[in-house]
Amino acid sequence: MPPFVVFILGGSMESKKRSLIKTFSWQAVHMTLVAGTIYVLTGEWEIAGIAALAELVWETAAYYVHERAWARWGKKVK
């Protein structure tokens, strides 16, 4: 079945396990990029690591708030 048909019918092309693994792998890539960028700017791995972890926590919290806002007010968007 073509992907757009699966999407329209509400099906899933990926298993929940695969999506979960992809989520964690993306977070690892993202944290590496954030830590690497901060290391380049500061020259300190400790600061880079702490900042990457802090960013992960803030990003997760912000994403949750964003999702809840869309659940409440995003229904108006067609």
Each residue of 60-78: pLDDT tens digit?
899 889 888 888 888 777 7
Provide DSSP, the chain. --HHHHHHTT--SS-HHHHHHHHHHHHHHHHHHHHHHHHHHHS-HHHHHHHHHHHHHHHHHHHHHHHHHHHHHGGG--
pLDDT at residue 72, as a whole number: 83
Nearest to 13 by CA among 21, 22, 1: 1
Q: What is the pLDDT along the chain (78 residues), one digit of tens a residue?
A: 555 555 555 555 678 888 888 888 988 999 999 999 999 999 999 999 999 999 989 988 998 898 888 888 887 777
Q: Which of 34, 62, 63 is nearest to 50 (CA)?
A: 34
How many residues are there in the chain?
78
**Domain count along the chain:** 1
- What pLDDT is attached to residue 39? 98
What pLDDT does residue 74 have? 81
Domain that holds residue 44: 3-76
